[in-house]
Chains A and B, each alone.
Chain A
Amino acid sequence: MTTVETVVGPAQTLVLNMGPQHPSTHGVLRVVLELDGEQIVRAEPEIGYLHTGIEKNAEALTYSQTITITDRMDYLAPLSNNLGYCLAVEKLLGLEPPPRAKYIRVLLTELTRLQSHLVWLGTHAIDLGAMTVFLYCFREREEILKIFEMVSGQRMMTSYFRIGGIALEPPPGWLDPVARVLRIMPSRIDEYESLLTRNSIWLGRTQGIGLLDAKDAIAMGVTGPMLRASGVAYDVRKFFPYSGYDEFEFDVPTRTEGDCYARYLVRLAEMRESLKIIKQAMGKVPAEGAIKVDAPGIVPPQREKMKTEMESLIYHFKIFTEGFSPPVGEVYQAIESPRGELGFFIASDGSPKPYRMKVRAPSFVNLQSLEKMVKGRLLSDVVACIGTTDIVLGEVDR
């Protein structure tokens, strides 16, 4: 009789590569997953596939030229990037844009938040198998992009905010489509909610998934809707108001569950809050007035003046050939982008080009929490957790 000896080795895990080409990684994210059966032992995001050296490029461009490369980071919220950068440079220069520009900026950045959350909702839902929501969200998003095209000429890479104000006077009647968005959106958000909020598949895929408690979230530097879904009401618009946000009335929605479902509810509530802000901003935008601050040598002069005034012509020439030189110093300016705290750190050495521009990208920091959210959970939850983080890889890699 022979005996068969079975050798039991150490527990075997499987390393699985998810991405960089994967429909639910929202760009080119690669996650190295170590699996024990279907359970995640380790999840390590590998980033950098979209690294384009934006911060290095900025050092070779003038302050005005840099605006165009800020759009390219968070391409779902270009106007938020423009705003953050312009506010930082304005802080460095000690400039304050005129009220008309200020409120137009608030109005458009809140529209940006709305359309960015629409993309998030649509893609998050399609990742988890709800196709219809995706189509509905993109239908409404198009309405908002048309407004961007109307005012700036571009649907996405707007570069509409400039240092000291905004680039162009918005065309007559531009508030009509904004009013239309305000009119249709509340019922459209209800429509998304009717498709998801009590949908048992949606609940099963999001409730209790991707848990992040307040302490961990703060330790990991998580900001934006993700932090607020963990019960911390940190919103840069309220804590460190900029661009006149302290004059607006709005709530900061929070939840305490800290799971994907809570983050879904927080973002939907935020969309309704954005509508409130847009409505107030429409009332606040003066019908007439300057759109750029009067700062010769920094803000380009009006075309008409250039034809009649020698000085304006000289300033125009100087701004576009060598740029302007802010004082020596460093500033950090943060705004609440749709994804969290978007910060611009600018170090000036007194030359017309930023000596150093560092972008504090919310997606970059928030992505770090992925491993915490998925560890010990199932492989299929990774998709939900990437979706709920709402990353934009252009911003993660810069």
Chain B
Amino acid sequence: MTDTPDLDQNPIVSKLRAWDAGAIAETLSFRGETTVVVPRERLRGVAEFLASEADLDFKLLVDISAVDRFPVEPRFELNYHLVSMSRRERIRVRVWVAGSDPVVDSVTPVWTTANWHEREIFDLFGVRFAGHPDLRRILLPEEWEGFPLRKDYPVEGPR
């Protein structure tokens, strides 16, 4: 992964910078995909900005993918994949969440679709979303113990 300087010319990145310089911790580019790393406590604000700013128009949240980087801390990486239909562009917003306190603000108020994505991440990774309307397990039974997609959870299940 390389942090290429020409990303500063990227209109989305410069718009975000102009709006709030502290909103971007890092920008990455790999295989033509742009990733904007956002500090955890700024996620909700950045989400609202990206979705509501008229000439950015990131109204479609396509997916949220979590990655567990155990034993590296902060261990959870959340990737929000956004599409702007008017710009025909994609962007990935990334936040890091610590294993000791896996909480991040829910973006369900910004994009309704986040509801199930966040429930799935809670279910499989144990990351909690503050302000989520209905944070319950979604795929696994309610009484399930542990979070299967964590790296310290064996494929065969806990013994």
Chain A residues close to B by CB (< 8 Å): 47-48, 51, 53, 55-57, 59-60, 91-92, 94, 216, 218-223, 232, 234, 239-240, 328-332, 334, 341, 343, 345, 347, 355-356, 358, 360, 364-365, 368, 397-398
Contact of B31 among A92, A223, A239, A355 (CB under 8 A): A92
Q: Select which of B67, B68, B88, B138 is within 8 A of A47 by beta carbon.
A: B138
Q: Are B62 and A91 in contact (CB under 8 A)?
A: no
How long is the Cα–Cα vector from A215 to B138 in the complex, in angstroms? Answer: 25
Question: Roughly how many angstroms separate A268 CA and B140 CA in the complex, as a whole number?
Answer: 36
Point out the residues of chain A lying under 8 angstroms from B81, CB to CB. 332, 343, 345, 360
Candidates A51, A92, A368; contact of B116 at CB < 8 Å: A368
Given A53-B148, A356-B68, A334 and B62 touching (CB < 8 A)? yes
Which residues of chain B (1-58) have a CB below 8 Å from chain A?
A: 1, 30-31, 33, 35
Please give me the residue from chain B that is nearest to A368 by CB atom. B116
Given the complex of chains A and B, what is the CA–CA distance between A226 and B139 in angstroms? 24
Q: Tell me, rounded to whole Å, the shortest Cβ–Cβ distance linking B135 to chain A.
A: 15
Do A368 and B115 touch across chains, with their CB atoms under 8 A apart? Answer: yes
* B106 close to chain A: CB less than 8 A: no
Name which residue of chain B comes closest to A329, CB basis: B30
Min CB distance A203 to B, Å, is 30
A56 cross-chain contacts in B, Cβ below 8 A = 148-149, 155
Number of A-B contacts (CB under 8 A): 103
Min C-beta distance of A329 to chain B, whole Å: 4
Partner of B112, one of A219, A239, A345: A219
Q: Is the CB of B62 within 8 A of A360?
A: yes
Q: Residue B85 at the A interface, CB < 8 A?
A: yes
In the complex, A92 Cα to B31 Cα: how many Å?
Answer: 7
Interface digits, B74-95 against A, CB 8 Å rule (1 contact, 0 not)?
0000010101010010101000
* B31-A329 in contact (CB<8A): yes
Please tell me if the beta carbons of A48 and B30 are within 8 angstroms of each other in the complex: no
* Residues of A close to B35: CB separation below 8 A: 330
B105 at the interface (CB under 8 A from A): no
B90's nearest neighbour on chain A, judged by CB, is: A240
For residue B139, which residues in chain A have a CB less than 8 angstroms away from its CB?
A: 47-48, 51, 397-398
| Cα(A331)–Cα(B65), bound, Å | 11
Nearest-neighbour CB distance to chain A for B53, whole angstroms, equals 16
Which A residue's beta carbon lies closest to that of B60?
Answer: A218
Most chain-B Cβ atoms within 10 A of its Cβ — which of A94, A332, A347, A398?
A332
Please determine whether A239 and B85 come into contact, CB atoms closer than 8 angstroms: yes
Residues on the A chain within 8 Å of B124, using CB = 55
A365 and B90 in contact, given A48-B139, A53-B148, A345-B63 (Cβ under 8 angstroms): no
> Please, which residue of chain A has its CB at the minimum distance from the CB of B144?
A48
- Known pairs A48-B139, A356-B65. 9 more at Cβ < 8 A? A51-B140, A219-B113, A329-B30, A331-B31, A343-B81, A356-B67, A358-B65, A364-B120, A368-B113
A sample of 20 cross-chain residue pairs with beta-carbon separation below 8 angstroms, ordered by A number, consists of A47-B138, A48-B138, A92-B31, A94-B31, A219-B113, A221-B61, A221-B113, A232-B85, A330-B30, A330-B67, A345-B65, A345-B79, A347-B67, A355-B67, A356-B68, A358-B65, A360-B62, A360-B81, A365-B113, A368-B113
Known interface pairs A221-B61, A330-B79; A60-B155 also in contact (CB < 8 Å): yes
For residue A44, which residue of chain B has the nearest CB? B134
For B90, list chain A residues within 8 Å (CB).
Answer: 240, 332
